[in-house]
Amino acid sequence: MRAVLHGIHIHGDVLHFRIGLLNGSHIRFDIDFIRCYIRDRKVARRTVTQEKEVLPLDIDGLERPVVEGRCGKTVVIALDKFTLADNKLLTIEIYERGGGRHLYLKVKNRHIENAKPLN
């Protein structure tokens, strides 16, 4: 399984993250849930990490939350607009139901600031 961030777009006060999910195996990937949160970029040993969950306004493409074997799927996550401090990352996690293939995407502030407007 692979997750690829294909683009970030902005429309009004909403950021749209377009994510491609690619299943290279013959075993289908059942999506359990998608979680977005802001966390510290680097974590030193014995320090407390700060995590702030960001609740999606909408997730498009999960009408059927399955990525069939040897196929792909596109998911669009809509979040309220925000920017990040230099030492923070937006992490998008996609969890498999009843399995161990969990996907993680890390998005830096420069990617968010380069969001293209939707027409």
Residue 50 phi, psi (nearest 5) = -105, 125
Choose the weakest-confidence range: 4-13, 44-53, 56-65: 44-53
Strands 103-107 and 72-80: unpaired
**Mean of pLDDT values over 83-98:** 95
The whole-chain average pLDDT of the chain stands at 94
Cα–Cα distances in Å, from 82 out to 3, 90, 119? 22, 10, 20
* Residue keyed to tokens 């399984």: 1
Task: Kindly report the number of other CB atoms within 10 A of residue 2's CB atom.
Answer: 10
Residue 81 phi, psi (nearest 5) = -65, 145
Residue 35: CB partners within 8 Å, gap ≥ 6? 53, 92, 93, 95
SS3 112: helix
pLDDT of the residue at 18: 98
**45 — pLDDT class (breaks 50, 70, 90):** confident
User: Among residues of the chain, what percentage have pLDDT more than 70?
Assistant: 100
From the options 2.60.40, 3.40.50, 3.10.310, 1.10.390, give the CATH code of 2-117: 2.60.40
